[in-house]
């Protein structure tokens, strides 16, 4: 068997045989599943998963006669209707909308500054929390009684929606404003893995000492940030979490709306925690194609069995290696059930590519963005020194186990395993 045929096979075998297993309940989806409901099968009972935003009876009374601000994006829906429109119809006084990375409608590129303005449909003022102002100012919260967060997360530390949530929680605590989370399932909530972030590597792609995959919903995460005193000066906000119904950490949840421009489907969401490390290298993770975070390659790589050419697309106006043929690998055919039943990061993609990359001095970006993604400089040096995957994994187990004990205190749903 030649190398071109062998590498993809090894990758698949790795997912099949070397990943740590956890018990898994299988969830089934009805053919008419809406954007706020999924069908979950637990033993002999079929129940409808219901996200926090769909439970109007639980939270509308708490918004009555209050001035409300929202932290929302394109995923903030109740069935087919955006939360903004739902709340306005119910007579809620929405005074401001805060927009995270990718903007209120979710169309901006990763890293692109989002401008303030007004929502074209409703005329409500829009305030960007991605760019110069990642945290609302006292003026932004003046006259506001409560901020409501309703954004679909994907469960990776470097996915910035949870950083935006933390900054808004901090601002609410400092300005005596309530903070409500309308909880949603975590599609990667069935496992916890990766190195825990070291304080000196704190950034917007990693604010708190958590692993790459934290295995929590945004509601659980908000409770942990509040309870562990991780906000500035250890302030705590008045936190309200509207839980999902009929959800636990074993539930398979397929996102009805892509959470950002470069995570188009379930494959990309499952692979994102592993392939995002390539964002700190010269390797393309598929931005500028239709298979973002499902393929990876580089123009000078010699060992791949797949090629692609990044071009400008919505959400990737200036993709890495634009217009150049990249050689690498295609992971789009990997079995989704294997992701659901084998919960752990896959470092082999990264280790193998570095090992076979000719110009190793140019592999990692000079701005050390890789270290921010990893939450330390250790992982980069372990790869440079040729450490194997299991040795690398062993190095983060102590911190990972300590995090799991903290995490357990804040869980709102039955855990995996």
> For residue 234, is pLDDT > 60?
yes
Q: What's the mean pLDDT when you consider all of the chain?
A: 88
Domain 50-251 adopts which CATH fold?
Rossmann fold (3.40.50)
Residues 259/290, Cβ–Cβ less than 8 Å: no
Mean pLDDT calculated for residue range 357-380: 98
pLDDT higher at 278 or 337: 278
Mean pLDDT calculated for residue range 227-241: 98
How far apart are alpha carbons 89 and 92 in whole angstroms?
Answer: 7
CB count in 10 Å sphere of residue 257: 12
- CA-based nearest residue to 25, from 277, 220, 251: 251
Range of weakest confidence among 108-122, 185-199, 274-288: 108-122
Chain segment 117-158, per-residue pLDDT in tens? 888 788 999 999 987 889 999 999 999 999 999 999 999 999
Percent of the chain at pLDDT exceeding 70: 86
Q: What is the pLDDT of residue 112?
A: 45
Q: CA 78 → CA 51, 85, 151, 347, 363, distances in Å?
A: 9, 9, 12, 37, 44
The whole-angstrom distance between residue 96's C-alpha and the CA centroid of its chain comes to 24
How far apart are alpha carbons 368 and 377 in whole angstroms?
Answer: 9
Phi then psi for residue 307, to 5 deg, are -135, 155
Q: How confident is the model at residue 37 (pLDDT cuts 50, 70, 90)?
A: very low
Mean pLDDT calculated for residue range 94-101: 93
Q: How confident is the model at residue 407 (pLDDT cuts 50, 70, 90)?
A: very high
> For residue 5, is pLDDT > 70?
no
> For residue 95, is pLDDT > 90?
yes
Q: How confident is the model at residue 337 (pLDDT cuts 50, 70, 90)?
A: confident
How far apart are alpha carbons 395 and 379 in whole angstroms?
Answer: 9
Q: What is the pLDDT of residue 343?
A: 86
Q: What is the pLDDT of residue 372?
A: 98
Q: How confident is the model at residue 105 (pLDDT cuts 50, 70, 90)?
A: low
Q: How confident is the model at residue 341 (pLDDT cuts 50, 70, 90)?
A: confident
For residue 35 the two structure tokens come to: 């954007």
Parse the chain into domains and list their residue ranges. 3-24+255-407, 50-251
> For residue 34, is pLDDT > 90?
no
Q: What is the pLDDT of residue 114?
A: 53
Q: How confident is the model at residue 46 (pLDDT cuts 50, 70, 90)?
A: low
Q: What is the pLDDT of residue 377?
A: 98
Q: What is the pLDDT of residue 336?
A: 85
CATH of domain 3-24+255-407: 3.90.1150.140
Phi then psi for residue 152, to 5 deg, are -80, 120
Residues 36/184, Cβ–Cβ less than 8 Å: no
Mean pLDDT calculated for residue range 298-309: 96
How far apart are alpha carbons 275 and 286 in whole angstroms?
Answer: 10
Q: What is the pLDDT of residue 230?
A: 98
Q: How confident is the model at residue 415 (pLDDT cuts 50, 70, 90)?
A: very high
Mean pLDDT calculated for residue range 24-38: 40
């Amino acid at each position: 068997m030649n190398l071109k045929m062998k590498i993809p096979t090894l990758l698949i075998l790795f997912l099949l045989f070397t990943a740590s297993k956890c018990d898994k309940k299988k969830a089934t989806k009805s053919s008419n599943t809406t954007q706020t409901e999924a069908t979950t099968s637990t033993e002999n009972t079929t129940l409808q998963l219901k996200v926090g935003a769909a439970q109007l009876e639980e939270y509308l009374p708490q918004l009555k006669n209050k001035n409300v601000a929202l932290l929302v994006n394109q995923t903030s829906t109740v069935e087919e209707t955006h939360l903004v429109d739902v709340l306005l119809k119910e007579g809620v006084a929405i005074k401001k909308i805060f927009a995270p990375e990718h903007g209120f409608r979710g169309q901006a590129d990763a890293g692109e500054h989002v401008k303030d303005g007004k929502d074209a449909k409703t005329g409500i003022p829009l305030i960007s929390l991605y760019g110069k102002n990642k945290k609302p100012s006292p003026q932004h919260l003046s006259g506001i009684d409560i901020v409501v967060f309703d954004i679909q997360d994907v469960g990776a530390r470097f996915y910035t929606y949870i950083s935006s949530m933390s900054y808004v929680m901090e601002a609410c605590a400092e300005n005596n404003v309530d903070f409500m989370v309308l909880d949603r399932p975590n599609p990667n909530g069935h496992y916890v893995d990766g190195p825990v972030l070291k304080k000196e590597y704190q950034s917007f792609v990693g604010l708190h000492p958590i692993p790459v995959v934290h295995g929590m919903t945004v509601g659980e995460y908000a409770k942990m940030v509040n309870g562990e005193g991780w906000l500035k000066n250890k302030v705590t906000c008045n936190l309200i979490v509207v839980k999902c119904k009929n959800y636990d950490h074993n539930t398979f949840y397929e996102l009805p709306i892509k959470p950002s421009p470069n995570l188009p489907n379930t494959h990309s969401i499952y692979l994102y925690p592993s392939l995002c490390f390539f964002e700190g290298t010269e390797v393309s993770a598929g931005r500028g194609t239709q298979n973002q975070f499902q393929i990876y390659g580089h123009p000078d790589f010699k060992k791949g069995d797949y090629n692609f050419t990044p071009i400008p697309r919505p959400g990737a106006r200036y993709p890495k290696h634009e217009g150049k043929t990249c050689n690498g690998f295609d992971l789009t055919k990997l079995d989704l059930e294997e992701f659901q039943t084998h919960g752990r990061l896959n470092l082999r993609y990264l280790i193998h590519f570095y090992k076979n990359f000719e110009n190793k001095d140019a592999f990692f970006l000079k701005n050390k963005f890789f270290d921010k993604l990893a939450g330390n400089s250790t992982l980069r040096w372990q790869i440079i020194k040729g450490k194997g995957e299991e040795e690398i994994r062993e190095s983060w187990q102590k911190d990972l186990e300590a995090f799991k004990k903290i995490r357990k205190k804040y869980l709102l749903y039955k855990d995996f395993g």
